[in-house]
Structure 1
Amino acid sequence: MKSIFFIACLLTTNLHAQTTLQFDKRFLDSEDKWVAFEANKEGAHSFGFIYIDAQAGLTLNYEGTFTISPSGEFIPAKKENAIMKVRLQPNNVLVAFIPESKFSELQIEAIPEWLQNYKRDTNSVSRLYRWGFLYNGWEECEKALTYLEKANQINPAFKGLAVELAFSYNCLGQYSKAVSVLQIALQQDPKDAYTNKELIYAQIRSGDLDKAAVSCKNAINICTDVTFHGENCYNLLHELYLKKDKANFNLWIAETKKWNAGKENIMSSIEIMNKELNQ
């Protein structure tokens, strides 16, 4: 009977130790959070504080390691004096949020004192724009939009804001909003190649192919930066192919080939579409 009771207690404490940490959070979900990583073969968890540095992006302030006792207590290893900051890339690594009830055991504060150095001007347009830019780059467009729309309310003329805002809208399928923002941006800088690209993309995705064709021709005529001409033409041509618009497809095929010369995969795709549509 005593043996059964002892085993039951052991299972309970081990289960408690295992379930205290839930490794189900991405780095991108962990801004301003204390996090722990999966234990190594010695049973030690690395841990630290994740925050965003305006220049470096997502960053881990490494704090050290800890182990979990059978009773569930977090036991930190002796802290290292050297400060280690690790730049993080969004990936499939999952971390666990450290429960606030364990902060005292790890000898950490809920909000590190040094974090204030990274929280200045949190409501400035430049800061909001930068955070939106970073989250767009991580393909977290919905979160990016929360920053960019705030920035837009303060100063819609801030350099680069309109096209970044439009990128979020396009990413989320809100094409009419993207078109509205980009048309205003192009009034200020009609020759910006990237702004034109985003407009053409939004018009194509919203099904307005006639306007997309006009925008594509305009971009080719006025943009000195030719980086996106091939992409713009191909996106339009592909949509015309899907719509089985043979007449307009044939009008755009030569231009599309011109700007995609040397791109073997693209040229092969063009030939396949042409053969299928004109057979």
Structure 2
Amino acid sequence: MRITILALILISNIGFSQNNLTELKFDTKYFNAVDKWVAFPKKDTDSTYAYGYIYLDNQAGFTFNYETKFQIKEQELINFKRDSTIGFMKYRLEPNTNLVSVLTENQISALNLPKEPEWLSSYKKRSDQVDYLKQKGYHYNHVGACELALKPLLKAYEIDPHFDGLEFELAYAYNHLGKFENAIPILEKAIQNNPKNFYFYKELGYAYLGSNKIDEAEITYRKGIKMSDNDFEKSEMSVNMAQAYFKLKNKEMFDEWANMTRKYSTGDKRYLQYIDHFEQNWDKK
């Protein structure tokens, strides 16, 4: 009985290993596959999958380094020989990039790939420096992956908290994640260090609103509006305050900020639709 059971287990494991070798799961966003070998989905008319390595170029952003193609045939990965005359083919990845399949260790081995490409080291020589970490966080923020942005940004913040652009990126990540109480002290310290940076006021006002600190938000936004020379940014801060007073059903203060939104909606009028919506739904719960 024990021999039979053991045999069944071995057969089951072998079957799982074979399936694992040829199984592709296209369920990963490219920014969750940084420093990994991946395959892209094929068209219905194709028989091969393009594969390569995703890495983060500190200046250009998320990048796919195309290796070559493989084919799945009779439970095996058939690797196509790479054209050595072409050189590296790199593609900058955009928000609409297809979901990828991260290759397993078995698949990487079957394709005779190293754990990571030799050329990757040149992109990581400065990976512990503040400017590199800040820029890494920026790229993650830029695609909405703010949770992933926190690690490099916090590491950089421990080294040099007032590094140019770092405080904004860190506060932006916290605000995007709804962690307003984490963003507030960072921005307050940032303003103490550099009181002329308009974007600190804009982001701090947003964090105050998120924390339901309406008075602090209004004071901060007024300072930001006074400081800014950009009407669109002013209209954005104004509509945020208008929305806060809409929720509080404070008509007098709502009207003031609604009028300011209209005043600053010169070229870009996208926020006027929100003011119209608030006014049309004022008496509704």
Question: What TM-score results when the alignment is normalised by the length of structure 1?
Answer: 0.87
> Which digits, 9 at most, give the CA deviation of each residue in 1:17-75, with x for residues without a partner?
895222222211111111112234342111111111111111111111111221x2211
Aligned partners of 2:266, 2:51: CA distance in 1, in Å? 50
Structure 2 vs 1, CA of residues 22 and 251 (structure 1 numbering), >3 Å: closer, same or farther?
closer
8 Å contact kept, 1:193–1:225: no
Amino acid at match of 2:54: I
8 Å contact kept, 2:22–2:107: no
After TM superposition, list the pairs within 5 Å mapping 1:211-250 onto structure 2: 211-250=216-255
Which residue of the partner structure matches residue 137 of structure 2? 132
The worse-fitting range, judged by mean Cα deviation, of 95-104 and 56-65 is 95-104
Shift of 1:262: 5.3
Aligned partners of 1:113, 1:219: CA distance in 2, in Å? 48
Structure 2 vs 1, CA of residues 109 and 183 (structure 1 numbering), >3 Å: closer, same or farther?
same
Aligned partners of 1:255, 1:64: CA distance in 2, in Å? 56
Which residue of the partner structure matches residue 61 of structure 1? 65
Structure 2 vs 1, CA of residues 110 and 271 (structure 1 numbering), >3 Å: closer, same or farther?
closer
Aligned partners of 1:272, 1:32: CA distance in 2, in Å? 45
Question: What TM-score results when the alignment is normalised by the length of structure 2?
Answer: 0.85
Q: Which runs of 5+ in 1 are unaligned?
A: 1-11
Which residue of the partner structure matches residue 159 of structure 1? 164
Of the three residues 86, 90, 95, the one matched with 2:95 is: 90
Structure 2 vs 1, CA of residues 38 and 85 (structure 1 numbering), >3 Å: closer, same or farther?
same
Structure 2 vs 1, CA of residues 267 and 68 (structure 1 numbering), >3 Å: closer, same or farther?
closer
Q: Which runs of 5+ in 2 are unaligned?
A: 1-14
Which residue of the partner structure matches residue 38 of structure 2? 35
Which residue of the partner structure matches residue 173 of structure 1? 178
Which residue of the partner structure matches residue 100 of structure 1? 105
Shift of 1:218: 1.4
Aligned partners of 2:118, 2:182: CA distance in 1, in Å? 40
> For the aligned residues, what is the CA RMSD?
2.3
Structure 2 vs 1, CA of residues 275 and 227 (structure 1 numbering), >3 Å: closer, same or farther?
closer
Which residue of the partner structure matches residue 48 of structure 1? 52
Aligned partners of 1:42, 1:265: CA distance in 2, in Å? 43
Shift of 1:268: 4.3
> Which digits, 9 at most, give the CA deviation of each residue in 1:243-273, with x for residues without a partner?
1112321333322221124555533432443
Structure 2 vs 1, CA of residues 92 and 114 (structure 1 numbering), >3 Å: closer, same or farther?
closer
Structure 2 vs 1, CA of residues 218 and 104 (structure 1 numbering), >3 Å: closer, same or farther?
closer
Shift of 1:202: 0.9
8 Å contact kept, 2:231–2:265: no
The worse-fitting range, judged by mean Cα deviation, of 157-166 and 263-272 is 263-272
Which residue of the partner structure matches residue 22 of structure 1? 25
8 Å contact kept, 1:65–1:77: yes
Shift of 1:123: 1.1
8 Å contact kept, 2:245–2:253: yes
Shift of 1:204: 1.3
When the two structures are aligned, how many residues end up with a matched partner?
Answer: 266
The worse-fitting range, judged by mean Cα deviation, of 55-64 and 253-262 is 253-262
Shift of 1:183: 1.2
Of the three residues 177, 187, 197, the one matched with 1:182 is: 187
Question: In the alignment, does 2:208 pair up with 1:203?
Answer: yes
The worse-fitting range, judged by mean Cα deviation, of 96-105 and 164-173 is 96-105
8 Å contact kept, 2:231–2:266: no
Residue 47 of structure 2: SS of its match in structure 1?
coil
Aligned partners of 2:258, 2:172: CA distance in 1, in Å? 27
% identity of equivalent residues: 35
